Chains A and B, each alone.
Chain A
Amino acid sequence: MPLSGGSTILVPVDVSNDERPATDLLTISDAVTLVLLGYYPVPDQAPPAQLKADHEDDAQRRLAELAATIDRDATQRVVFTHDRDETVDRAAEEYDCDAILLPGSHTATERVFVPLRGDDNLDRILSLVADLLRRDEATATLFHATTAAEQAYGQSLLDDAADRLVEAGIDRDRIDTRLATTDDPGTAIVESAHEFDLLVVGETEPSLTDRILGRVSTRIADEVDRPAFVVRKT
């Protein structure tokens, strides 16, 4: 199946203060559609409408300024919310986004790290990677960590994925594959990720503990201080 391309990416931006997120990433590819979600965190103590009445103009202005900085069309939306994660989820749903961009302090964009878990969600992940690589000079490393017994499957997963990127018109030289043998894939991913500029990871199902104790964004995105595109499950 060919990759569809043209991913839609949700970019949550805190519009409650004047700190600007790095915009390099937002201009990374013309092939993607951007949805800028300006969220304004509201403490439990205040009704969202109350802060909206006080700060809506500021919030709209900040988001518009950001949109102007990146100089390209983007859907803009400002939301006053008690719960950022829930708002992001709902907006991603509403605008049918393929991925959510989580910020990190690192700003280079040349080396893209793509840990793959399996066939789940692979189309969306690869399609986004292809969109990102259509920009010059960026390279992608497809990564799979697995136990010794599962190596054959892991290698075929990586090879297939690389082939599909090539089919989508990406130069073979710019795609690297790496298979790691380990009993702890999570740690292997986190350790390797530090060598790269940017991550593309698939969303995981929240576990029961996540549900009770509040949601944890993927461990990778939390532990690695790199911007990450979290590709949503369909």
Chain B
Amino acid sequence: MTLGGGTMIGAGIFILPGLAAEGAGPASSISFGIAGFVALLAALSLAELATGMPIAGGSYHYVNRALGGLFGSIVGWGMWTGLMFASAFYMIGFGQYIVVPLPFLDGRALIVLIGLVGLAAITGLNYYGTDESSGAQNLMIGAELVVVLAYVAVGVFFVEPGNLAEFAPTGPTGIVATTGTVFVTYLGFEIIATVAGEIEDPGRLIPLTMVVSVVSVTLLYVVIMLVSTGVVPYQQLGGSLVPVSDVAAITMGGAIGVAAVTVAAAVAAISSSNSSILAASRVIYAMGRDGLMSDRLNVTHDRFATPHRAIIATGGVTGLLVLAGLQVAEIVALLAQVASFSFLVTYALVHVALVVFRRVDPEPYDPEFEMPGVLYPVVPVLGVVMAGVVISQMQPAVIVVGTGIVGLGGVWYGGYARSRTVDEGLLGEAVATAFEPGGIAFETVGGLFGQPGPSDATAGAQSYRVVVPVANPTTQRRLLRLAAATARAHADDGEPELVAVHVTEARRSPDRNVESDRLDERRDLLTVARGVATDIGIDLDTRSAIADDPGEVILDVIRETDAEQVVLGWQGVTDGDSEVFGSTLDPVIERAPCDVALVEFEQETIGESVALVDAGPHAATVAQRAVDFATVDGETATLLTVQRPTDDADPVKEGRRMIEWVANRANLDPDEYEPEVVVSENLSTAIIETVTGYDTVCVGLSERSDAERIEFGSTARRVSRDAPGNVAVVRGRELLEPDARDRAPIEQ
């Protein structure tokens, strides 16, 4: 919050009113309004992208992903140079505010010199690294804000309507041209996105912070411009290097007001310039990560742990730009306009990137914040158009330099980066899908979030779908193989298809940077899943989501895909008081409208499987799963029952009848299984002893079910705890339909 807000307030308020008044008179308040509107459009697009991929790098990252390395390079270089121009702009402003009020100082050379000294201090500070100076920073920015608010509050009473009478001396063209100058102040909210990888709860905070800071700063600027031009006639204000001081000299008690404004302006310039250098090194880092920039710039310092080379490079070029102030009289306006140009181009490409992401809807993109329906595609289209309009009114020199920077990005890509980059970008795909009948291909994630997406098209009647939540890299392959085998075993019921789901739990974590790690993890998991599916030769659909409650998402996927089964990995018995299997698994086990198998992996092979059949409600499903699982390694499943010795009946015969009955209910052919009957007084011990000889044991979830709470059957619990092999705890779908549940014929 302080990062973005501080930069924006600092950047504009003290330096720009003079330039703006010169360019458009009192109507320059409208220029600020337009610039704010353009920024707001960009903020909306950025917010959606930033919550979809919260990774450090900001605009650069989104454009690179969406449009490929060429545009990534253009935007990366554009942002870097834009930030350097902005930084130089702030430092010259800093020099002006220090030099002008001191009577014994004079001249441009001194302004440049003081700007360079300030810049050197900032660069040095960043080289050595700052951590947690945020307390002092917050105080300084707070003090600055107090001065600015006082300036507005007091200034209102000094406004002379006569000064505002000639409201727009330069007409609409002048207003738009001035927009190009003042847009530099809106680089601030971009910084929020640039550091998005480190913000907690990005889904809520990023859009909120961006929109609130853009809107509030815009309103503040409009008022400040009206007050400034209302107090001092615009012609006079326009000629001033320190416009805010001039106004404060009239409204805020002369010298005291000037001193307060001078201090606030110095603080503002330093903090803005500092933020720009921070943001620049992040852009360089992000480019280095993608191979668009030499890794040598991204080396971190052994002792200070700072990306010192990137900081020095940024500081050095910024210093040269400040030095240019010796030769160029209008340096401040030029620096501001070139910085604006770079970021207008960047934001235009961000809008395009958003459209590409929406069309292609690739795997890792699930924005938590989505632009509401009425705003899309209006916002991106309008954003590009407005950027074009503002740029078209800029000075020819600015357009030349700006185009040169864009060209530099392109040349850099062609000459250096092209052979090194790996990211292809999604543009080609977006274009391809645009011409495909039926629109969007690719994995569909949208359906999870409520809109009736095209994903429903995949939920046809012809498939036998097995949902597999993947979360654990070590057991993932086995889980997928098992799920594939069981889907295949039901090939008669439909085309076998797996649906791999990965849910990133959206909880607070001590790793600030966790989002990008989790995205990497998710990508890895789903990539492996695809690999396994290809090896096995089975259709795979992948889904992913970020949610508070993974269990609910898994249930949504099961319902939406009309799945027949869900196969879940499980760590083993838990003895929690309130949870039986864990907060993720419990709701799935209780409410999934399909067969559920919970598999605890103890060994590599699935091998020989055995089903523990009894009179419980899940026996048929248990038998069926054992038979399915046995197909993984081409084995035959055993259906096992343990009987107590009785006086009046043959327990072996009783056991066989039971097995046959269960097999019959499960539609198994006699050659698909081996029956085994064990007679023992102690059922539980006998079961454990017998199943020890098998690789994989399938047991029913429980003997009874309860709508509120599943009782994890005592036998099942013991087996899962004591059996050395893999254990699958199975629940049939009939659990949900008490009427359809038919009990085993109990022969008295």
Chain B residue with minimal CB distance to A44?
A: B130
B residues in contact with A87, CB < 8 Å? 510-512
A residues in contact with B306, CB < 8 Å? 43, 45-46
Interface 9-residue window, one of A74-82, A100-108, A131-139, A150-158: A74-82
**A80 pairs with B511, CB closer than 8 A:** yes
Does B311 sit at the interface, judged by CB under 8 A?
A: yes
Interface 9-residue window, one of B90-98, B252-260, B277-285, B427-435: B277-285
Minimum distance in angstroms from B509 CB to a CB of chain A: 7
Cα separation A94 to B305 with both chains bound (whole Å): 27
The interface size of chain B toward A, counting residues with CB under 8 Å, comes to 33
Cα separation A178 to B297 with both chains bound (whole Å): 60
Minimum distance in angstroms from A89 CB to a CB of chain B: 8
Interface string of A205-234 (1 = CB under 8 A from B): 000000011100000000000000000000
Does A16 sit at the interface, judged by CB under 8 A?
A: yes
Q: Identify which of B298, B307, B510 gathers the most chain A CB atoms within 10 Å of its CB.
A: B510
**A47 pairs with B508, CB closer than 8 A:** no
**A81 pairs with B139, CB closer than 8 A:** no
A residues in contact with B138, CB < 8 Å? 212
**A41 pairs with B131, CB closer than 8 A:** yes
Cα separation A83 to B304 with both chains bound (whole Å): 15
Minimum distance in angstroms from B151 CB to a CB of chain A: 23
Does B132 sit at the interface, judged by CB under 8 A?
A: yes
Does B240 sit at the interface, judged by CB under 8 A?
A: no
The answer to whether A43 and B305 touch (CB under 8 A), given A80-B511, A94-B508, is yes
CB within 8 Å of A: which B499-542 residues: 508-513, 516-517
Chain A residue with minimal CB distance to B507?
A: A94
Minimum distance in angstroms from B2 CB to a CB of chain A: 12
B residues in contact with A52, CB < 8 Å? 513
Cα separation A42 to B197 with both chains bound (whole Å): 14
A residues in contact with B282, CB < 8 Å? 47
A residues in contact with B198, CB < 8 Å? 47-48, 82
Cα separation A83 to B199 with both chains bound (whole Å): 12
Cα separation A214 to B131 with both chains bound (whole Å): 12
**A47 pairs with B509, CB closer than 8 A:** no
A residues in contact with B305, CB < 8 Å? 16, 41-43, 46, 51
Does A54 sit at the interface, judged by CB under 8 A?
A: yes
**A47 pairs with B285, CB closer than 8 A:** yes
Which of A45, A47, A80, A94 is close to B129, meaning CB atoms less than 8 Å apart? Answer: A45
A residues in contact with B281, CB < 8 Å? 45-46
Which of A50, A77, A90 is close to B300, meaning CB atoms less than 8 Å apart? Answer: A50
**A93 pairs with B508, CB closer than 8 A:** yes
Does A91 sit at the interface, judged by CB under 8 A?
A: yes
Which of B132, B135, B300 is close to A46, meaning CB atoms less than 8 Å apart? Answer: B300
Does B476 sit at the interface, judged by CB under 8 A?
A: no
Does B30 sit at the interface, judged by CB under 8 A?
A: no
Does A148 sit at the interface, judged by CB under 8 A?
A: no
Cα separation A80 to B197 with both chains bound (whole Å): 13
Does B56 sit at the interface, judged by CB under 8 A?
A: yes
Does B126 sit at the interface, judged by CB under 8 A?
A: yes
Does B134 sit at the interface, judged by CB under 8 A?
A: yes
Chain A residue with minimal CB distance to B508?
A: A90
Does A22 sit at the interface, judged by CB under 8 A?
A: no
Interface string of B106-130 (1 = CB under 8 A from A): 0000000000000000000010011
Interface string of A29-59 (1 = CB under 8 A from B): 0000000010001111111111110100000
Interface string of B236-249 (1 = CB under 8 A from A): 00000000000000
Cα separation A204 to B516 with both chains bound (whole Å): 34
B residues in contact with A51, CB < 8 Å? 300, 305
Does B482 sit at the interface, judged by CB under 8 A?
A: no
Does B335 sit at the interface, judged by CB under 8 A?
A: no
Cα separation A51 to B56 with both chains bound (whole Å): 13
Minimum distance in angstroms from B345 CB to a CB of chain A: 24
**A50 pairs with B509, CB closer than 8 A:** no
Q: Identify which of A46, A84, A212 gathers the most chain B CB atoms within 10 Å of its CB.
A: A46
Chain A residue with minimal CB distance to B131?
A: A43
Minimum distance in angstroms from B713 CB to a CB of chain A: 30
Cα separation A44 to B311 with both chains bound (whole Å): 12
Minimum distance in angstroms from A100 CB to a CB of chain B: 13
A residues in contact with B285, CB < 8 Å? 46-47, 50
B residues in contact with A47, CB < 8 Å? 56, 195, 197-198, 282, 285, 513
Chain B residue with minimal CB distance to A48?
A: B513
B residues in contact with A45, CB < 8 Å? 126, 129-130, 278, 281, 306-307, 311
Minimum distance in angstroms from A26 CB to a CB of chain B: 20
**B131 pairs with A50, CB closer than 8 A:** no
A residues in contact with B509, CB < 8 Å? 90, 94
Chain A residue with minimal CB distance to B133?
A: A44
**A49 pairs with B516, CB closer than 8 A:** yes
Minimum distance in angstroms from B5 CB to a CB of chain A: 16
Cα separation A214 to B134 with both chains bound (whole Å): 7
The answer to whether A212 and B135 touch (CB under 8 A), given A49-B513, A94-B510, is yes
Minimum distance in angstroms from B450 CB to a CB of chain A: 30
B residues in contact with A43, CB < 8 Å? 129-131, 304-306
A residues in contact with B311, CB < 8 Å? 45
**A49 pairs with B56, CB closer than 8 A:** yes
**B510 pairs with A46, CB closer than 8 A:** no
**A48 pairs with B300, CB closer than 8 A:** no
Chain B residue with minimal CB distance to A39?
A: B510
A residues in contact with B131, CB < 8 Å? 41-44, 82-83
Which of A50, A91, A212 is close to B510, meaning CB atoms less than 8 Å apart? Answer: A91
**B510 pairs with A79, CB closer than 8 A:** yes
Minimum distance in angstroms from A53 CB to a CB of chain B: 8
Cα separation A124 to B725 with both chains bound (whole Å): 41
Cα separation A45 to B300 with both chains bound (whole Å): 10
Cα separation A49 to B138 with both chains bound (whole Å): 25
Cα separation A37 to B129 with both chains bound (whole Å): 23
Minimum distance in angstroms from B265 CB to a CB of chain A: 23
Q: List 9 A-B contacts (CB under 8 A).
A: A41-B305, A43-B130, A44-B130, A46-B281, A47-B198, A86-B510, A87-B511, A212-B135, A212-B139
Q: Which 6 A-B pairs have the closest CB atoms?
A: A43-B129, A214-B135, A90-B510, A48-B513, A91-B510, A45-B306
Q: A45-B307, A77-B510 are in contact. List 7 more A-B contacts (CB 8 A).
A: A44-B131, A46-B307, A50-B285, A81-B510, A81-B512, A83-B132, A214-B134
Q: CB within 8 Å of A: which residues of B?
A: 56, 126, 129-135, 138-139, 195, 197-198, 278, 281-282, 285, 298, 300, 304-307, 311, 508-513, 516-517
